[in-house]
Structure 1
Protein backbone atom coordinates (compact mmCIF):
# COMPACT_ATOMS: atom_id res chain seq x y z
CA UNK A 1 0.00 0.00 0.00
CA UNK A 2 1.36 3.43 -0.93
CA UNK A 3 0.98 5.89 1.89
CA UNK A 4 -1.21 8.91 1.35
CA UNK A 5 1.23 11.76 1.86
CA UNK A 6 -0.24 15.24 1.41
CA UNK A 7 2.17 18.01 0.57
CA UNK A 8 3.54 19.81 3.61
CA UNK A 9 1.93 23.15 2.87
CA UNK A 10 1.67 24.77 6.28
CA UNK A 11 4.19 25.88 8.91
CA UNK A 12 3.36 25.67 12.60
CA UNK A 13 6.10 26.64 15.06
CA UNK A 14 8.50 26.36 12.14
CA UNK A 15 7.56 22.73 11.46
CA UNK A 16 6.21 21.90 7.97
CA UNK A 17 2.97 19.97 8.45
CA UNK A 18 0.30 18.51 6.16
CA UNK A 19 -2.63 20.84 5.62
CA UNK A 20 -5.66 18.61 5.07
CA UNK A 21 -9.32 19.15 5.95
CA UNK A 22 -9.36 16.23 8.39
CA UNK A 23 -6.22 17.34 10.20
CA UNK A 24 -7.65 20.83 10.52
CA UNK A 25 -10.96 19.39 11.73
CA UNK A 26 -9.04 17.29 14.27
CA UNK A 27 -7.34 20.41 15.58
CA UNK A 28 -10.73 22.10 15.90
CA UNK A 29 -12.18 19.10 17.75
CA UNK A 30 -9.26 18.95 20.17
CA UNK A 31 -9.44 22.71 20.77
CA UNK A 32 -13.19 22.57 21.45
CA UNK A 33 -12.95 19.54 23.74
CA UNK A 34 -9.86 20.15 25.84
CA UNK A 35 -8.52 22.82 28.19
CA UNK A 36 -5.50 24.86 27.16
CA UNK A 37 -2.98 22.54 28.83
CA UNK A 38 -4.40 19.47 27.10
CA UNK A 39 -4.65 21.15 23.71
CA UNK A 40 -1.11 22.48 23.93
CA UNK A 41 0.13 19.01 24.87
CA UNK A 42 -1.42 17.23 21.89
CA UNK A 43 -0.22 19.93 19.51
CA UNK A 44 3.31 19.61 20.84
CA UNK A 45 3.09 15.83 20.50
CA UNK A 46 1.97 16.16 16.87
CA UNK A 47 4.63 18.71 15.96
CA UNK A 48 7.46 16.80 17.63
CA UNK A 49 6.34 13.67 15.79
CA UNK A 50 6.04 15.50 12.47
CA UNK A 51 9.55 16.88 12.96
CA UNK A 52 10.73 13.28 13.35
CA UNK A 53 9.02 12.35 10.08
CA UNK A 54 10.48 15.38 8.31
CA UNK A 55 14.00 14.25 9.23
CA UNK A 56 13.55 10.83 7.62
CA UNK A 57 15.18 10.07 4.25
CA UNK A 58 12.75 10.82 1.38
CA UNK A 59 12.03 7.15 0.64
CA UNK A 60 11.21 6.34 4.27
CA UNK A 61 9.17 9.50 4.62
CA UNK A 62 7.09 8.66 1.56
CA UNK A 63 5.98 5.40 3.16
CA UNK A 64 4.35 7.11 6.14
CA UNK A 65 0.70 8.12 6.19
CA UNK A 66 1.27 11.56 7.66
CA UNK A 67 -2.43 12.35 7.72
CA UNK A 68 -3.21 9.24 9.78
CA UNK A 69 -0.31 10.07 12.08
CA UNK A 70 -1.49 13.67 12.41
CA UNK A 71 -5.05 12.75 13.29
CA UNK A 72 -3.81 10.17 15.81
CA UNK A 73 -1.39 12.55 17.50
CA UNK A 74 -3.86 15.43 17.68
CA UNK A 75 -6.69 13.27 19.04
CA UNK A 76 -4.61 10.93 21.21
CA UNK A 77 -5.92 12.34 24.50
CA UNK A 78 -9.62 12.62 23.75
CA UNK A 79 -10.00 10.15 26.60
CA UNK A 80 -9.04 13.09 28.83
CA UNK A 81 -11.79 15.34 27.46
CA UNK A 82 -13.97 15.51 30.56
CA UNK A 83 -17.58 16.62 30.23
CA UNK A 84 -17.79 15.10 26.76
CA UNK A 85 -19.30 11.89 25.44
CA UNK A 86 -15.83 10.59 24.61
CA UNK A 87 -15.13 9.36 28.14
CA UNK A 88 -16.61 6.01 29.10
CA UNK A 89 -17.22 4.71 32.59
CA UNK A 90 -15.31 1.47 32.11
CA UNK A 91 -12.48 1.79 29.57
CA UNK A 92 -8.90 2.98 29.90
CA UNK A 93 -8.45 6.49 28.56
CA UNK A 94 -6.33 5.31 25.63
CA UNK A 95 -9.20 3.17 24.32
CA UNK A 96 -11.68 6.00 24.85
CA UNK A 97 -9.45 8.24 22.76
CA UNK A 98 -8.98 5.61 20.06
CA UNK A 99 -12.72 5.01 19.84
CA UNK A 100 -13.42 8.74 19.66
CA UNK A 101 -10.95 9.17 16.81
CA UNK A 102 -12.38 6.19 14.93
CA UNK A 103 -15.92 7.53 15.19
CA UNK A 104 -14.74 10.98 14.13
CA UNK A 105 -12.95 9.65 11.04
CA UNK A 106 -15.92 7.54 10.01
CA UNK A 107 -18.14 10.59 10.25
CA UNK A 108 -15.80 13.15 8.70
CA UNK A 109 -13.03 11.36 6.83
CA UNK A 110 -14.66 10.59 3.52
CA UNK A 111 -13.95 7.87 0.98
CA UNK A 112 -10.17 8.05 1.34
CA UNK A 113 -10.37 6.49 4.78
CA UNK A 114 -10.51 2.71 4.49
CA UNK A 115 -10.53 0.37 7.47
CA UNK A 116 -6.76 -0.11 7.33
CA UNK A 117 -6.11 3.61 7.82
CA UNK A 118 -8.75 3.88 10.52
CA UNK A 119 -7.25 0.91 12.37
CA UNK A 120 -3.81 2.52 12.09
CA UNK A 121 -5.13 5.60 13.89
CA UNK A 122 -6.89 3.45 16.49
CA UNK A 123 -3.72 1.47 17.22
CA UNK A 124 -1.60 4.63 17.38
CA UNK A 125 -3.82 6.12 20.07
CA UNK A 126 -4.58 2.94 22.02
CA UNK A 127 -0.87 2.08 22.29
CA UNK A 128 0.65 5.54 22.66
CA UNK A 129 1.47 5.09 26.37
CA UNK A 130 2.82 1.56 25.89
CA UNK A 131 6.32 2.54 24.83
CA UNK A 132 7.72 -0.98 24.91
CA UNK A 133 5.02 -2.13 22.45
CA UNK A 134 4.38 0.91 20.25
CA UNK A 135 7.99 1.35 19.16
CA UNK A 136 7.89 -2.03 17.41
CA UNK A 137 4.65 -1.38 15.54
CA UNK A 138 4.12 0.52 12.26
CA UNK A 139 6.01 3.83 11.97
CA UNK A 140 2.82 5.84 12.50
CA UNK A 141 2.19 4.02 15.79
CA UNK A 142 5.81 4.30 16.92
CA UNK A 143 6.04 8.01 16.10
CA UNK A 144 2.75 8.82 17.82
CA UNK A 145 4.17 7.24 20.97
CA UNK A 146 7.67 8.64 20.50
CA UNK A 147 6.50 12.16 19.74
CA UNK A 148 4.20 12.17 22.75
CA UNK A 149 6.81 10.71 25.09
CA UNK A 150 9.46 13.15 23.90
CA UNK A 151 7.12 16.10 24.27
CA UNK A 152 6.61 15.13 27.91
CA UNK A 153 10.16 14.30 29.03
CA UNK A 154 12.41 16.11 26.54
CA UNK A 155 14.65 15.19 23.63
CA UNK A 156 17.39 13.36 25.52
CA UNK A 157 15.07 11.14 27.55
CA UNK A 158 13.06 10.53 24.40
CA UNK A 159 16.20 9.24 22.71
CA UNK A 160 16.98 7.08 25.74
CA UNK A 161 13.61 5.35 25.38
CA UNK A 162 13.21 5.24 21.59
CA UNK A 163 16.78 5.40 20.32
CA UNK A 164 17.39 6.57 16.78
CA UNK A 165 13.67 7.13 16.14
CA UNK A 166 13.86 10.47 17.97
CA UNK A 167 15.39 12.96 15.56
CA UNK A 168 13.57 16.13 16.58
CA UNK A 169 16.29 18.50 17.73
CA UNK A 170 16.37 20.83 20.71
CA UNK A 171 15.90 23.94 18.58
CA UNK A 172 12.71 22.51 17.08
CA UNK A 173 11.53 21.29 20.48
CA UNK A 174 12.02 24.72 22.03
CA UNK A 175 10.27 26.50 19.15
CA UNK A 176 7.26 24.19 19.49
CA UNK A 177 7.15 24.82 23.24
CA UNK A 178 7.22 28.57 22.64
CA UNK A 179 4.11 28.47 20.46
CA UNK A 180 2.35 25.88 22.65
CA UNK A 181 3.67 26.60 26.16
CA UNK A 182 4.47 23.83 28.64
CA UNK A 183 3.80 25.88 31.78
CA UNK A 184 1.40 24.09 34.11
CA UNK A 185 1.81 20.71 32.40
CA UNK A 186 2.62 18.69 35.52
CA UNK A 187 -0.34 20.10 37.40
CA UNK A 188 -2.61 19.27 34.48
CA UNK A 189 -1.29 15.71 34.29
CA UNK A 190 -1.79 15.29 38.03
CA UNK A 191 -5.33 16.67 38.04
CA UNK A 192 -6.38 14.61 35.04
CA UNK A 193 -4.94 11.34 36.33
CA UNK A 194 -6.42 11.85 39.78
CA UNK A 195 -9.83 12.56 38.26
CA UNK A 196 -9.68 9.36 36.20
CA UNK A 197 -8.82 7.36 39.32
CA UNK A 198 -11.84 8.82 41.08
CA UNK A 199 -14.18 8.54 38.09
CA UNK A 200 -13.44 4.96 37.05
CA UNK A 201 -10.87 3.31 39.32
CA UNK A 202 -11.34 -0.15 37.78
CA UNK A 203 -10.05 1.23 34.47
CA UNK A 204 -6.85 2.48 36.10
CA UNK A 205 -5.60 -0.43 38.20
CA UNK A 206 -3.57 -2.00 35.38
CA UNK A 207 -2.65 1.35 33.83
CA UNK A 208 0.05 3.86 34.76
CA UNK A 209 -2.73 6.28 35.73
CA UNK A 210 -3.25 4.20 38.86
CA UNK A 211 0.06 5.46 40.23
CA UNK A 212 -1.66 8.81 40.83
CA UNK A 213 -4.50 7.06 42.62
CA UNK A 214 -2.11 5.30 44.99
CA UNK A 215 -0.28 8.52 45.75
CA UNK A 216 -3.09 11.05 45.91
CA UNK A 217 -6.56 9.45 46.20
CA UNK A 218 -7.64 8.39 49.71
CA UNK A 219 -8.76 4.77 49.85
CA UNK A 220 -7.48 3.94 46.38
CA UNK A 221 -5.28 0.86 46.05
CA UNK A 222 -4.13 -1.38 43.26
CA UNK A 223 -3.67 -4.23 45.71
CA UNK A 224 -6.16 -6.95 44.94
CA UNK A 225 -6.42 -5.81 41.33
CA UNK A 226 -2.86 -6.33 40.08
CA UNK A 227 -1.99 -9.22 37.77
CA UNK A 228 -0.08 -10.94 40.58
CA UNK A 229 -3.12 -10.64 42.86
CA UNK A 230 -5.45 -12.07 40.22
CA UNK A 231 -3.15 -15.01 39.45
CA UNK A 232 -2.47 -15.83 43.09
CA UNK A 233 -6.22 -15.82 43.71
CA UNK A 234 -6.94 -17.98 40.66
CA UNK A 235 -4.07 -20.41 41.28
CA UNK A 236 -4.01 -20.99 45.07
CA UNK A 237 -2.69 -24.56 44.88
CA UNK A 238 0.36 -23.55 42.87
CA UNK A 239 0.98 -20.66 45.24
CA UNK A 240 1.00 -22.93 48.32
CA UNK A 241 3.23 -25.47 46.58
CA UNK A 242 5.90 -22.82 46.19
Structure 2
Protein backbone atom coordinates (compact mmCIF):
# COMPACT_ATOMS: atom_id res chain seq x y z
CA UNK A 1 0.00 0.00 0.00
CA UNK A 2 1.01 3.62 -0.47
CA UNK A 3 2.59 5.59 2.36
CA UNK A 4 0.13 7.54 4.52
CA UNK A 5 2.56 10.49 4.55
CA UNK A 6 2.65 11.41 0.88
CA UNK A 7 3.92 14.85 -0.14
CA UNK A 8 1.12 17.21 -1.07
CA UNK A 9 0.29 20.18 -3.26
CA UNK A 10 -2.65 22.56 -3.35
CA UNK A 11 -4.76 23.13 -6.48
CA UNK A 12 -7.76 25.47 -6.38
CA UNK A 13 -7.61 25.34 -2.62
CA UNK A 14 -7.70 21.53 -2.50
CA UNK A 15 -4.87 19.51 -0.98
CA UNK A 16 -3.97 16.47 -3.08
CA UNK A 17 -0.99 14.07 -3.14
CA UNK A 18 2.07 15.20 -5.07
CA UNK A 19 4.07 12.18 -6.22
CA UNK A 20 6.15 11.65 -9.37
CA UNK A 21 3.63 9.05 -10.53
CA UNK A 22 0.71 11.47 -10.23
CA UNK A 23 2.68 14.09 -12.19
CA UNK A 24 3.44 11.53 -14.90
CA UNK A 25 -0.21 10.45 -15.04
CA UNK A 26 -1.28 14.07 -15.56
CA UNK A 27 1.28 14.51 -18.33
CA UNK A 28 0.29 11.23 -19.99
CA UNK A 29 -3.42 11.99 -19.84
CA UNK A 30 -2.94 15.52 -21.18
CA UNK A 31 -1.48 14.08 -24.40
CA UNK A 32 -4.72 12.22 -25.12
CA UNK A 33 -7.28 14.76 -23.90
CA UNK A 34 -9.05 17.72 -25.42
CA UNK A 35 -9.07 20.88 -23.31
CA UNK A 36 -12.59 20.29 -22.01
CA UNK A 37 -11.87 16.66 -21.09
CA UNK A 38 -8.60 17.52 -19.36
CA UNK A 39 -10.24 20.20 -17.24
CA UNK A 40 -12.97 17.71 -16.40
CA UNK A 41 -10.52 15.11 -15.14
CA UNK A 42 -8.71 17.67 -12.98
CA UNK A 43 -12.01 18.91 -11.56
CA UNK A 44 -13.04 15.29 -10.93
CA UNK A 45 -9.80 14.75 -9.06
CA UNK A 46 -10.24 17.85 -6.90
CA UNK A 47 -13.96 17.43 -6.24
CA UNK A 48 -13.38 13.79 -5.38
CA UNK A 49 -10.78 14.77 -2.79
CA UNK A 50 -13.05 17.40 -1.28
CA UNK A 51 -15.84 14.86 -0.85
CA UNK A 52 -13.83 11.75 0.02
CA UNK A 53 -11.69 13.51 2.61
CA UNK A 54 -14.93 14.06 4.54
CA UNK A 55 -16.23 10.48 4.38
CA UNK A 56 -13.39 8.18 3.22
CA UNK A 57 -10.27 9.61 4.88
CA UNK A 58 -8.30 6.35 5.13
CA UNK A 59 -8.34 5.45 1.44
CA UNK A 60 -5.27 4.96 -0.76
CA UNK A 61 -4.93 8.58 -1.89
CA UNK A 62 -2.43 7.93 -4.67
CA UNK A 63 -4.58 5.20 -6.23
CA UNK A 64 -7.60 7.52 -6.02
CA UNK A 65 -5.66 10.33 -7.70
CA UNK A 66 -4.35 8.20 -10.56
CA UNK A 67 -7.76 6.66 -11.25
CA UNK A 68 -9.46 10.05 -11.33
CA UNK A 69 -6.81 11.49 -13.64
CA UNK A 70 -6.94 8.59 -16.10
CA UNK A 71 -10.66 7.76 -16.01
CA UNK A 72 -11.48 9.15 -19.47
CA UNK A 73 -8.50 7.85 -21.44
CA UNK A 74 -11.02 5.81 -23.42
CA UNK A 75 -12.70 8.91 -24.89
CA UNK A 76 -11.84 8.65 -28.60
CA UNK A 77 -11.76 12.37 -29.44
CA UNK A 78 -8.28 13.71 -28.70
CA UNK A 79 -6.46 10.54 -29.71
CA UNK A 80 -4.40 10.31 -32.89
CA UNK A 81 -5.61 7.95 -35.63
CA UNK A 82 -4.96 4.29 -34.80
CA UNK A 83 -4.37 5.08 -31.13
CA UNK A 84 -3.11 2.06 -29.21
CA UNK A 85 -5.48 2.96 -26.37
CA UNK A 86 -8.73 2.94 -28.33
CA UNK A 87 -9.76 -0.63 -29.13
CA UNK A 88 -12.19 -1.76 -31.79
CA UNK A 89 -14.26 -3.98 -29.54
CA UNK A 90 -14.28 -2.71 -25.94
CA UNK A 91 -16.29 -0.12 -24.01
CA UNK A 92 -14.54 3.21 -23.56
CA UNK A 93 -14.38 2.62 -19.79
CA UNK A 94 -12.52 -0.66 -20.32
CA UNK A 95 -10.12 0.95 -22.79
CA UNK A 96 -9.32 3.56 -20.15
CA UNK A 97 -8.91 0.98 -17.40
CA UNK A 98 -6.58 -1.13 -19.52
CA UNK A 99 -4.50 1.94 -20.45
CA UNK A 100 -4.18 3.00 -16.82
CA UNK A 101 -3.08 -0.48 -15.75
CA UNK A 102 -0.44 -0.62 -18.49
CA UNK A 103 0.77 2.85 -17.48
CA UNK A 104 1.12 1.81 -13.83
CA UNK A 105 2.89 -1.43 -14.73
CA UNK A 106 5.41 0.61 -16.70
CA UNK A 107 5.81 3.72 -14.56
CA UNK A 108 4.98 2.46 -11.06
CA UNK A 109 7.31 0.55 -8.79
CA UNK A 110 6.47 -3.15 -8.84
CA UNK A 111 6.88 -3.45 -5.07
CA UNK A 112 4.31 -0.67 -4.56
CA UNK A 113 1.79 -1.55 -7.27
CA UNK A 114 0.73 -5.07 -6.48
CA UNK A 115 -2.22 -6.85 -8.07
CA UNK A 116 -4.68 -5.40 -5.56
CA UNK A 117 -3.72 -1.76 -6.11
CA UNK A 118 -3.77 -2.22 -9.87
CA UNK A 119 -7.23 -3.76 -9.60
CA UNK A 120 -8.49 -0.82 -7.51
CA UNK A 121 -7.53 1.61 -10.26
CA UNK A 122 -8.87 -0.68 -12.99
CA UNK A 123 -12.22 -1.05 -11.20
CA UNK A 124 -12.49 2.66 -10.44
CA UNK A 125 -12.18 3.48 -14.13
CA UNK A 126 -14.08 0.56 -15.65
CA UNK A 127 -17.07 1.00 -13.34
CA UNK A 128 -17.26 4.79 -13.04
CA UNK A 129 -20.40 5.12 -15.17
CA UNK A 130 -22.36 2.44 -13.27
CA UNK A 131 -23.61 4.11 -10.10
CA UNK A 132 -25.56 1.10 -8.88
CA UNK A 133 -22.27 -0.82 -8.60
CA UNK A 134 -19.42 1.62 -8.14
CA UNK A 135 -20.64 3.13 -4.89
CA UNK A 136 -20.71 -0.36 -3.33
CA UNK A 137 -17.02 -0.92 -4.06
CA UNK A 138 -13.83 -0.10 -2.14
CA UNK A 139 -13.24 3.46 -0.85
CA UNK A 140 -10.78 4.30 -3.63
CA UNK A 141 -13.31 3.24 -6.27
CA UNK A 142 -16.12 5.16 -4.63
CA UNK A 143 -13.97 8.27 -4.18
CA UNK A 144 -13.09 8.36 -7.87
CA UNK A 145 -16.73 8.35 -8.89
CA UNK A 146 -17.73 10.87 -6.24
CA UNK A 147 -15.64 13.45 -8.06
CA UNK A 148 -16.68 12.45 -11.56
CA UNK A 149 -20.37 12.44 -10.77
CA UNK A 150 -20.14 15.71 -8.83
CA UNK A 151 -18.58 17.44 -11.82
CA UNK A 152 -21.46 16.43 -14.08
CA UNK A 153 -24.30 16.83 -11.61
CA UNK A 154 -23.22 19.71 -9.37
CA UNK A 155 -23.25 20.12 -5.58
CA UNK A 156 -27.02 19.94 -5.18
CA UNK A 157 -27.02 16.28 -6.26
CA UNK A 158 -24.14 15.18 -4.04
CA UNK A 159 -25.69 13.19 -1.16
CA UNK A 160 -25.41 14.53 2.36
CA UNK A 161 -24.39 18.06 1.39
CA UNK A 162 -20.78 16.88 1.09
CA UNK A 163 -19.90 19.48 -1.56
CA UNK A 164 -20.76 23.15 -1.21
CA UNK A 165 -21.24 25.60 -4.04
CA UNK A 166 -18.32 27.65 -2.74
CA UNK A 167 -16.04 24.62 -2.96
CA UNK A 168 -17.36 23.70 -6.39
CA UNK A 169 -17.10 27.24 -7.79
CA UNK A 170 -13.52 27.63 -6.58
CA UNK A 171 -12.53 24.54 -8.58
CA UNK A 172 -14.46 25.59 -11.68
CA UNK A 173 -12.87 29.06 -11.54
CA UNK A 174 -9.40 27.51 -11.84
CA UNK A 175 -10.44 24.79 -14.31
CA UNK A 176 -13.38 26.11 -16.40
CA UNK A 177 -15.89 23.71 -17.92
CA UNK A 178 -15.15 24.78 -21.52
CA UNK A 179 -18.37 23.30 -22.90
CA UNK A 180 -17.96 19.94 -21.19
CA UNK A 181 -21.43 18.65 -22.09
CA UNK A 182 -20.91 19.45 -25.76
CA UNK A 183 -17.65 17.51 -25.66
CA UNK A 184 -19.29 14.61 -23.84
CA UNK A 185 -22.03 14.43 -26.46
CA UNK A 186 -19.44 14.43 -29.25
CA UNK A 187 -17.51 11.56 -27.65
CA UNK A 188 -20.62 9.49 -26.93
CA UNK A 189 -21.97 9.93 -30.45
CA UNK A 190 -18.57 9.16 -31.97
CA UNK A 191 -18.43 5.91 -30.01
CA UNK A 192 -21.85 4.98 -31.39
CA UNK A 193 -20.49 5.62 -34.88
CA UNK A 194 -17.09 3.93 -34.72
CA UNK A 195 -17.87 0.89 -32.52
CA UNK A 196 -21.61 0.63 -31.95
CA UNK A 197 -21.39 -2.93 -30.65
CA UNK A 198 -19.77 -1.57 -27.47
CA UNK A 199 -22.68 0.78 -26.77
CA UNK A 200 -25.83 -1.34 -26.88
CA UNK A 201 -25.90 -2.45 -23.24
CA UNK A 202 -24.93 0.82 -21.57
CA UNK A 203 -25.70 4.52 -21.36
CA UNK A 204 -23.59 5.42 -24.39
CA UNK A 205 -26.31 3.90 -26.54
CA UNK A 206 -28.81 6.42 -25.20
CA UNK A 207 -26.85 9.15 -26.99
CA UNK A 208 -26.92 7.14 -30.19
CA UNK A 209 -30.68 6.62 -29.89
CA UNK A 210 -31.24 10.34 -29.68
CA UNK A 211 -28.58 11.92 -31.86
CA UNK A 212 -26.91 9.49 -34.30
CA UNK A 213 -28.68 8.98 -37.60
CA UNK A 214 -29.02 5.32 -38.54
CA UNK A 215 -28.01 4.07 -35.08
CA UNK A 216 -30.32 1.47 -33.58
CA UNK A 217 -30.28 -0.90 -30.63
CA UNK A 218 -33.31 -2.78 -31.92
CA UNK A 219 -32.69 -6.49 -31.49
CA UNK A 220 -29.38 -5.81 -29.70
CA UNK A 221 -30.52 -5.37 -26.10
CA UNK A 222 -30.02 -8.13 -23.53
CA UNK A 223 -33.76 -8.74 -23.37
CA UNK A 224 -33.87 -9.18 -27.15
CA UNK A 225 -31.07 -11.72 -27.04
CA UNK A 226 -32.62 -13.68 -24.17
CA UNK A 227 -36.12 -13.72 -25.64
CA UNK A 228 -34.80 -15.23 -28.86
CA UNK A 229 -32.86 -17.94 -27.01
CA UNK A 230 -34.36 -21.38 -27.69
CA UNK A 231 -32.52 -23.41 -25.06
CA UNK A 232 -35.77 -24.15 -23.23
CA UNK A 233 -37.03 -25.89 -26.34
CA UNK A 234 -34.15 -28.36 -26.45
The separation in 2 between residues aligned to 1:201 and 1:68, in whole angstroms, is 31
Displacement of 1:53: 2.6
CA distance in 1, matches of 2:139, 2:36: 27
Q: Cα deviations across residues 185-232 of structure 1 (Å, max 9, x unaligned)?
A: 111011111111101000011110111111111111111110110111
Counterpart in 2 of 1:44?
43
Q: 1:208 aligns with which of 203, 206, 210?
A: 203
Cα distance in 2 for partners of 1:14, 1:109 equals 27
Instruction: Provide TM-score, normalisation by structure 1.
Output: 0.89
Q: CA deviation at 1:3?
A: 5.5
Q: Secondary structure at the match of 1:17?
A: strand
SS in 2 for 1:229: helix
CA contact 2:47–2:151 (8 Å) conserved in 1: yes
Q: Are positions 1:79 and 2:74 aligned together?
A: yes
Query: Partners in 2 of 1:122 and 1:200 — Cα distance?
Result: 22
Residue of structure 1 equivalent to 2:218: 223
2:113 maps to 1:90 = no
TM-score between both structures, scaled by the size of structure 2: 0.92
The answer for the alignment partner of 2:155 in structure 1 is 155
Could you tell me whether the CA contact under 8 Å between 1:72 and 1:121 is conserved in 2? yes
Match of 2:98 in 1: 99
- Which structure carries more relative contact order (alpha carbon 8 Å, separation 6+)? 2
Structure 1's unaligned 5+ residue stretches are none
- The 8 Å contact of residues 6 and 20 in structure 1, kept in 2 or not, is answered as no
**Displaced runs of 4 or more, over 2 A:** 2-8, 53-56, 81-84, 235-238
- Residues 41-96 of structure 1: per-residue CA shift (max 9 Å, x gap): 1111111001113324xxx51x2100000000000000014323211000000000
Figure out how many residues of one structure are paired with residues of the other and give that number. Answer: 228
Report which stretch shifted further, 122-131 or 47-56: 47-56
Rounded Cα–Cα distance in structure 1 between residues aligned with 2:228 and 2:130: 26
Partners of 1:3 and 1:52 in 2: CA distance: 20
* Cα distance in 2 for residues equivalent to 1:114 and 1:203: 30
1:140 is matched with which residue? 140
1:32 aligns with 31
- Higher share of residues assigned helix: 1
**Residue of structure 2 in register with 1:199 after alignment:** 194
Q: What's the secondary structure of 2:149's corresponding residue?
A: helix
The question of whether the paired residues in 2 share the 8 Å contact of 1:6 and 1:18 is answered with no
The alignment yields a C-alpha RMSD, in angstroms, of 1.7
